[in-house]
Amino acid sequence: MNIQDNVPLSDYTSFGVGGLAEHFSLVNNAEDLTEALKCTLPSTPLWVLGYGSNCLISDHGLPGMTICVRGGDITVDRTFITADAGAWWDDVVKAAIEHGLWGIELTSEVPGSVGGSTFVNIAAYGQSLGSVVEWIEIWDRNASQVKKLHRNDLSWSYKSSVFQTDKGKNWIILRVCLCLSSKITDELTYQKALDVASELRLNIDSLEDRRKVIIEARKRAGSLWHPDGGEAHTVGSFFRNPTVSKEQVDAIIAFDESGVSAEQIRKMNQIHGGSEARVSAAHVMLAAGFKRGQIFADGRVKLNDKNLLKIEALPGATAQAIYDAVREIQETCYEKLGIRLEPEARILGAFK
Ligand SMILES: Cc1cc2nc3c(=O)[nH]c(=O)nc-3n(C[C@H](O)[C@H](O)[C@H](O)COP(=O)(O)OP(=O)(O)OC[C@H]3O[C@@H](n4cnc5c(N)ncnc54)[C@H](O)[C@@H]3O)c2cc1C
């Protein structure tokens, strides 16, 4: 295991901010990850990163050991796909499509690793990763051993997994097996994607075309990111879509500026969050007075021009400046609307 000291974590996050890892190891398959975990004392603080596309890491860095997992094997056996934690999620989607398997095609080009995506329970256009998981191999830090969690041991909800709870906080994902289908599993009903399909004359009942539709829809929404790609420095949507009272749903939806009907927005909210009481956090921010393109921290932090849920780190941004903008948004939304916006991104390390 190759360990380096004082490694800048800004190089390993999509925000491009973050201080030094006290100790750091980059591993590129599940075997090396397991070995690295075996060598890390249970008493040492441990942080596991994939592509850092959903993390805000403190300017003070992270104490103890940071293991960054990038790369690994993907194997397909009938309708089962098994992938190492560090595999790039979209490579798993591509493998599924190449083998004619349905169930994750709508998550095409969600950036990140298989491990990070499982931790987050990524969701896009009506599909979520958790719903197709067959088993997960983990390293249990409490028992210092490898374990296998089966479908029935796992429960999933909107952007949540057991790994985000006290029960799973010492479980590191090593490998994930998905059970997909040789037949179509989900309808594509998200209006903006349907508009793309009709404009480009793509067939939403073809796997390959669905992927093209989703990638184009994500491109238009500014939702593409690659580690070496030069896109804006964001973590995607910073906040989870909150649930609100029945009365508040209409009032919040009324702040939409895209010209889409209230009925369509309700449908899209349901697709994104699985509940009619869930509203877009972007609409909540608009309702609280925030604007697309709004600047914070003397020009170092910005809300994306198209989607204000995407907080962008501009040149010179610090993690603390992003954190301060996040707090300002949370406090304003609570004061003005009584709605608590919870971060979807993980905030790691010490902040003021
Ligand atoms: C432009 C953009 C668009 C996005 N669009 C979407 C979207 O449409 N839908 C969506 O759901 N998300 C989206 N995201 C968020 C992000 O893509 C996902 O959350 C992604 O799965 C994170 O993977 P990662 O490897 O980068 O995780 P990281 O950011 O490295 O880690 C995220 C969390 O997972 C934990 N973790 C990572 N690996 C492991 C492991 N092996 N074992 C245990 N814990 C682990 C980390 O400790 C951390 O707490 C977007 C992000 C960006 C930048």
Q: Which of 301-330 are b and which e, b meaning 16 or more Cβ less than 10 Å from the residue's Cβ?
A: bbbbeebbbbbbbbeebbbbbbbbbbeebb
The protein residue with its alpha carbon nearest to ligand 1, atom 51, reads: 236
Q: What is the pTM of this model?
A: 0.96
C-alpha to C-alpha distance for 153 and 118, rounded to whole angstroms: 15
How far away, in angstroms, is 240 Cα from ligand 1 center?
13
How far away, in angstroms, is 52 Cα from ligand 1 center?
7
Judged by average pLDDT, the poorest of 105-119, 125-139, 226-240 is 226-240
Domains of the chain in start order, with CATH, are 4-69 (3.30.43.10), 74-179 (3.30.465.10), 246-348 (3.90.78.10)
Read off the amino acid at residue 305.
D
> What length does the chain have?
352
Q: How does pLDDT run across 143-156, given as a tens digit for each residue?
A: 999 999 999 999 99
Which one of 27, 84, 120, 127 would you pick to mutate in the ligand 1 pocket, going by the greatest count of ligand atoms within 8 A of its CB? 120
C-alpha to C-alpha distance for 110 and 161, rounded to whole angstroms: 17
Distances (CA, A) of 264 to 95, 214, 261, 283: 32, 18, 5, 14
- Classify 51 in phi/psi space as left (phi over 0), alpha (psi -120 to 50) or beta: alpha
Would you say the CB of residue 12 lies under 6 angstroms from ligand 1? no
Q: For the chain, what percent of residues have pLDDT higher than 70?
A: 99
Read off the amino acid at residue 276.
E
Which one of 34, 49, 171 would you pick to mutate in the ligand 1 pocket, going by the greatest count of ligand atoms within 8 A of its CB? 49
Would you say the CB of residue 49 lies under 6 angstroms from ligand 1? yes
Q: How does pLDDT run across 48-71, given as a tens digit for each residue?
A: 999 999 999 999 999 999 999 999
Q: Which two tokens stand for residue 164?
A: 């985000």
Which one of 10, 17, 54 would you pick to mutate in the ligand 1 pocket, going by the greatest count of ligand atoms within 8 A of its CB? 54
